[in-house]
Amino acid sequence: MNSLGILRKLSLRSLGAHKLRLVFTILAVVLGTSFVSGAFILTASLSKAFDDITAANYEGADIVVNSTPEFPVTLDLAEAIEARDDVSRVEVLDTVPVIIIGPDDKPLQTGGAGSWLMPHTPEEESVIPVMTPEAGRIPTAAGEAMINVSAAETAGIEVGETITVIDSEKRTDLEIVGLGSEGVAAGGWAGVLIPTETFRADFTDGESAGRLAIRGSVPVDSLRSAHPGMDISTAADAAAEESEEISQALSFLTYILLAFGLIALLVGTFIISNTFSMIVAQRTKEFALLRALGMSRRQLSGSVLAEAILLGAIGSAVGILVGVGLVRGIVAGMEMAGFGFPDAGLGFTTASVLVPIGIGVVVTAGSAWAPARRAGRVHPVQAMRMGEQASAPPLRARTVVGSVLVLTGIIATVAAAALDSWETGDRAVLAGVGALGIILGVLLVSAWAARAMFSIRPPVPGVVPLLAGTNLSRNPRRTAATAFALTLGVALVAAVGILGESMKESIFGVIDEELRADTIVSGAVVSNQGVPWQAVDEITSVDGVASAMPHVWLPLTVNGEASSTDGQYPVSAVLTADPSLAMAIDVVAGTFDGAASRPGVGVDRPTAERLGLEIGDTTTVEAPAHGGSTTAPVVVIWEETTSYSTVLVSETTAAELIPDRSSWFLQTLYVSFAEGADDAEVHQRVVDTVAPYGVLQVMDTSEFRMVGAQQVNQLMAVVYALLALSVVIAVLGIINTLALSIIERRHEFGMLRAVGMQRSQIRRMVSLESIYIAVLGAATGIVVGAWLGWCFVRVLADQGLDRWAVPWDQIGLVAVAAVFVGALAAIWPARQAARTSPLAAIG
């Protein structure tokens, strides 16, 4: 048999002889690679589903013309194009976002998929496939509609029942005369079709359209020449572009899961490295005999590395299977939560298979590299030695380097927190570098800390606690590596917990200090519809309501400045009513009174100073998405506040640039009550007024505070659930280390039993070792996490995170959990140690 065959046989027999060790090592790889694999599979699955939907949207069309603010699509344009000899058919496509209220007076939950009202085009006039009725018939008269089957099943809608659709302006009742088939997996999507004539008369201006689908042999360049500036492309190009946009939007899921998968693998790296280090120490005599029989250093190191590669490949393959289950669970959870994810089956790509396997193998092999090199340095003469074979290298250089890294990291994080004049991004990078330095430094210093800590006589009296500490101090590197896996997980949990608590305190502080409104009305969190303007009029007329301030955002700029961006265009607030009635805003110059009804703009004081503006100065107001511009004077300047916009445009000026009020998205309405009114009674009247609009939320100030806190809590719950993976791997590491040390210390346990130590004392000693490791890891993690959490909050102070809060209950729970985890992890190893016979001392 050649040398490769001998190495392969040797590796397989070594793995087979230590099945438990094999299982724990593979499990560490599985838990990490499953998230990496799941990230790629989830993205591929959703991309596949949306690709199917996109393809269906363009099936049958040759050319697509999209409406843009600068060059809108009109019905006249559709007629002109259809009159060409090289065009056989043109279909006008349009949609209006709506809220659907079912027959039970409850809103239809569609999640991110949305609810849409659309015109129904007869099949003989259509270009793309039309929705065909599975039950009932096609709507032909005003007041009739057809809804897709999946939405009807979700809401329990049947033919003959009446639904209500609410657009940005009004409510409309419709009788369902048919249930239509979508033909693709559309998730939570809901589509309501009505006759084209009714749609154009009641829901459009009668002239505009959203898109044209063209069938014919007309060249794209010819159509572009005839209609310069129009957004014209082939259907294939339009479908590809839309698919690419969806893929980019979904990429955040990949990044999130990849991040947590890599964190899990990072924690697993210490466990795998620890495992192979112990394996090498325990197999010193075996390796020495192999060297004596003629095996070279390279072959011996190669055999250990081959074991690691094999374990990495097996763990990664199993991780892919677990990743499939993870994706199924995520999709099911999203559907239960009402996010409306389309499920068109699992999507596999080359990356979803090769990347997890590659990462798993590389991480496992990298973790085993140093132990494999140590195995190769074993001398043949060591086969004749008795007792302890390994000699621990000194810790001085390691501790000095670690101390320098920790000190450098602390200086970097303090600088990041203190340098207010720097940009947030630059401070975040500096904080990240400092955090990395602290974490690496703690890893290096923890071996010295473990030796120093456990060499001291414990405060708990008795021989057993003393022996437990002494055992851990004998091999501080192993103790530190085992504890650090838990340190990393706990540090992340603590830092994230402080960020979450600080976010909640910042939200509470802003609401308590700056909100004057008594009731807040808003659209649903997951909805494509805001507050209808009809509802605003009804709320304003409620007895006891003094004012209602709509918070409207539009794509407008003042001298190039805006408050924020919607991801595509800069947006600014629209002044529709005096905001100082709803929020604590200190006016520096000018006035909000009557400003909405005349041309004008407003800016906060920092923006005014930066642009050099004063009351009466003329500014240029532009609508980037619509291509228009106008001039308007500065009518009001106010002190900077976190609760309101930095730039606003009066309603009159906004209407001049964007006259279509149906495109004005109103997300929040701030309602103030009349002086002396009974707040509870007026609030209930507002609730009753808004009730027919379905998904609108009506909240008093305390409920408004809690909504913000709940959103943070939901986000933190997801993060904690994912970070728990690293803690689980750390616990497995403690179990693995103790289990392997039991094999290594059979002689020690036998001697202790021979001199009179009881089995219960052996169990208690091993349990205390586990608890010591867990407490060391958790305590270090809490300190590191608290420091990093404080630093990150300070760095983000100018982003609205201006309060630092510590979740003491969570920190206390982590400390208690550390003791419990230590005791739990030691149950099986302690029982195995207690079973050691005194005869093993002379075996």
Q: What is the rounded average pLDDT for all residues in the chain? A: 79
Q: What is the pLDDT of residues 340-399, one digit of tens each?
A: 556 556 667 777 788 888 888 888 888 778 777 777 777 776 555 544 444 556 778 888
User: Do the beta carbons of residue 149 and residue 182 sit within 8 Å?
Assistant: yes
d(CA 70, CA 259): 41
Last residue in a domain, options 245, 276, 306: 245
pLDDT value, residue 599:
92
- pLDDT reading at 476 higher than 80: yes
Burial category of 464 from C-beta neighbours within 10 Å (exposed 0-12, middle 13-18, buried 19 and up): buried
Residue 843: is its pLDDT beyond 90? no
* Predicted local confidence at residue 390, as pLDDT: 47
Residues of the chain with pLDDT > 70, as a percent, come to 83
Q: Cα dist. 46→36, 41, 115, 328, 346 in Å?
A: 16, 9, 19, 12, 8
Q: Are residues 557 and 690 in the same domain?
A: yes
Which residues in 542-575 are b (16+ Cβ under 10 Å) and which e?
Answer: bebbeebbbbbbbbbbbbebbbeeeeebbbbbbb
| Cα–Cα distance measured from residue 298 to residue 159, given in angstroms and rounded to the nearest whole number | 77
Whether residues 594 and 660 fall in one domain = yes
pLDDT digits (tens, 9 = 90+) for 610-646: 889 899 999 999 887 777 889 999 999 988 877 788 8
| Greater model confidence, 47 or 671 | 671
Tokens 């998904």 map to which residue?
A: 695
Confidence of residue 766 (pLDDT cuts 50, 70, 90): confident
How many angstroms separate the CA atoms of 40 and 35, rounded?
9
HSE of 183, CA atoms in CB hemisphere, 13 A: 13
Tell whether the torsion through CA atoms of 438, 439, 441 and 447 is positive or negative.
positive
Residues ≥6 apart with Cβ < 8 Å to 358: 316
Q: Number of structural domains, the chain?
A: 4
Mean pLDDT of 268-285: 71
**What is the dihedral angle through the alpha carbons of 681, 686, 687, 689, rounded to the nearest 10 degrees?**
130
Between these two residues, 421 and 819, which has the higher pLDDT value? 819
Tokens 């280390």 — which residue? Answer: 737
Q: Are residues 197 and 161 in the same domain?
A: yes
Angle at which helix 235-282 crosses helix 19-58, to 10 degrees, equals: 180
**Tokens coding 405:** 């890294």
Handedness of CA 629, 633, 635, 636 (dihedral sign): positive
Give per-residue pLDDT as tens, 225-237.
Answer: 888 888 888 888 8
Judge whether 193 lies within some domain.
Answer: yes
Planar angle of CA 273, 279, 280, nearest 5 degrees: 90
- Asked whether 574 and 649 are in contact (CB, 8 A), the reply is yes
Domain ends where: 328, 359, 388? 388
Query: Using only C-alpha atoms, what is the Rg of the chain?
Result: 34
Residues 350 and 265 grouped into a single domain: yes
DSSP secondary structure code for residue 156 in this structure = T
Contacts of 252 (CB under 8 A, 6+ apart): none
- CA 272/CA 320 separation, integer angstroms: 19
**What's the first-to-final CA gap in the chain, in angstroms?**
35
Selection from 455, 499, 489, 502 nearest residue 474 by Cα: 455
- Do 240 and 318 fall within a single domain? no
What gap in Å lies between CA 745 and CA 480, rounded to an integer?
19
293 close to 378: Cβ distance less than 8 angstroms = no
Q: Where are the alpha helices (DSSP H) in 59-144?
A: 75-82
- Structure tokens, 618: 């003329």
Q: Are residues 471 and 601 both part of a single domain?
A: no
In a domain, 414, yes or no: no
Q: With respect to residue 452, please indicate whether it lies within any of the assigned structural domains.
A: no
* C-alpha distances in Å from residue 52, one per residue of 42, 236, 275, 336, 767: 15, 13, 47, 23, 56
Which stretches of 234-349 are DSSP H helices?
235-282, 284-292, 297-336
Task: State whether 355 and 302 are in the same domain.
Answer: yes
User: To which H or E segment does residue 788 belong?
Assistant: helix 759-795
Distances (CA, A) of 380 to 282, 289, 295, 323, 744: 15, 6, 10, 45, 21
Q: How many CA atoms lie within 13 A of 39 on its CB side?
A: 21
Q: Are 602 and 575 in contact (CB under 8 A)?
A: yes
Q: Last residue of some domain: 345, 372, 388?
A: 388
pLDDT band at 113 (very low <50, low <70, confident <90, very high): low
Tokens of 813: 């729970």
- Report the percent of the chain where pLDDT is more than 90: 5
The contacts of residue 329 (CB under 8 Å, 6+ apart) are: none
- Mean pLDDT check: name the lowest of 405-419, 468-482, 498-512: 498-512
CA-nearest of 305, 306, 300 to 379 is: 300
Task: Give Cα separations from 491 to 112, 276, 495 (angstroms).
Answer: 34, 25, 6
For residue 120, list its beta bridge partners.
195
Token pair in block for residue 807: 């979740």
636 and 558 within one domain:
yes
**The pLDDT of residue 224 is above 60:** yes
- What whole-number distance in Å separates Cα of residue 533 and Cα of residue 693? 11
How far apart CA 759 and CA 814 sit, in angstroms, is 30
Let me know if residue 428 belongs to a domain.
no
Q: Is residue 432 part of a domain?
A: no
Task: Answer yes or no: are the C-beta atoms of 653 and 621 closer than 8 Å.
Answer: yes
Reported as a single tens digit per residue, the pLDDT across 663-716 is 787 878 888 888 888 888 888 888 888 877 766 778 887 777 776 666 677 667
Task: Tally helices (H) and strands (E) across the chain.
Answer: 23, 26
**Do 607 and 576 fall into the same domain?**
yes
Mark whether 41 and 69 lie in a shared domain.
Answer: no
Residues 84 and 115 in one domain: yes
Amino acid in position 47: S
Tens digit of each residue's pLDDT (9 = 90 or more) over 490-542? 888 888 888 888 877 777 766 766 777 888 888 765 455 677 878 888 888 88
In this predicted structure, the answer to whether residue 252 has a pLDDT above a threshold of 90 is: no
pLDDT digit string, tens, across residues 705-716: 776 666 677 667
- CA–CA distance, 541 with 563 (Å, rounded to integer): 31
pLDDT tens digits for range 572-593: 888 888 888 888 888 888 888 8
- Same domain? For 234 and 374 the reply is no
Rounded to 10°, the helix 476-514/463-474 angle is 100
- Domain assignment of residue 611, yes or no: yes
Cα–Cα–Cα angle for 254, 260, 265, rounded to 5 degrees: 120
| Residue 13 in domain | yes
State the average pLDDT over residues 772-786: 89
Q: 483 lies in which domain range?
A: 457-516+703-843
With respect to residue 421, please indicate whether it lies within any of the assigned structural domains. Answer: no
How far apart are the C-alpha atoms of 30 and 24, rounded to whole Å?
10
Please give the average per-residue pLDDT across 308-329, as a whole number.
84
How far apart are the C-alpha atoms of 415 and 420, rounded to whole Å? 9
Do the Cβ atoms of 41 and 323 come closer than 8 Å? yes
